């Protein structure tokens, strides 16, 4: 992996229109997986995920499988993953 590519993934926030989620993943596993793809440390991801779950009102759904989510819940999960690592650069 090129260093430029790794840096780019850290600042990228992407939410696809088509919901290509892993139906057998829990919400928590999905968010940690996406954080790892962005190169986030687990400790950094843990705090970020906690805040984002509050923001998208999914704190009670962390252990639920994505395949059982409603369309709106899937959209909120995708919004949370797009915001992992603060892609706007604003703190």
The answer to whether residue 28 is domain-embedded is yes
The reported pLDDT for the residue numbered 21 is 83
Q: What residues contact 87, with CB distance under 8 A and at least 6 apart?
A: 11, 12, 13
The answer to whether residue 38 is domain-embedded is yes
SS3 at position 91: coil
pLDDT bin (cut points 50, 70, 90) of residue 91 is: low
The reported pLDDT for the residue numbered 86 is 81
The answer to whether residue 89 is domain-embedded is no
The average pLDDT across 70-74 equals 91
The answer to whether residue 48 is domain-embedded is yes
Q: 78 is in which domain, residue-wise? A: 3-16+23-83
SS3 at position 26: strand
The reported pLDDT for the residue numbered 56 is 96
The answer to whether residue 68 is domain-embedded is yes
The answer to whether residue 49 is domain-embedded is yes
Other C-beta atoms within 10 Å of 27: how many?
A: 26
- Tally of domains within the chain: 1
The reported pLDDT for the residue numbered 41 is 94
The answer to whether residue 73 is domain-embedded is yes
Other C-beta atoms within 10 Å of 41: how many?
A: 9
Q: Tell me: the pLDDT tens digits for 18-71?
A: 567 889 999 999 999 999 988 899 999 999 999 999 999 999 999 999 999 998
**Which of the 8 DSSP states describes residue 65?**
B
Q: Which of 39, 35, 40, 34 is nearest to 5 (CA)?
A: 39
The answer to whether residue 88 is domain-embedded is no
């Amino acid at each position: 992996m090129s260093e430029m590519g790794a840096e780019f993934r850290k600042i990228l926030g992407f939410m696809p229109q088509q919901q290509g989620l892993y139906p057998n993943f829990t919400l928590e596993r999905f968010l940690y997986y996406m954080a790892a793809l962005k190169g986030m440390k687990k400790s950094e991801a843990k705090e970020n995920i906690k805040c984002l779950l509050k923001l998208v009102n999914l704190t009670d759904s962390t252990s639920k499988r994505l395949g059982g989510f409603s369309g709106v819940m899937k959209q909120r999960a995708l919004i949370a993953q797009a915001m992992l690592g603060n892609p706007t650069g604003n703190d």
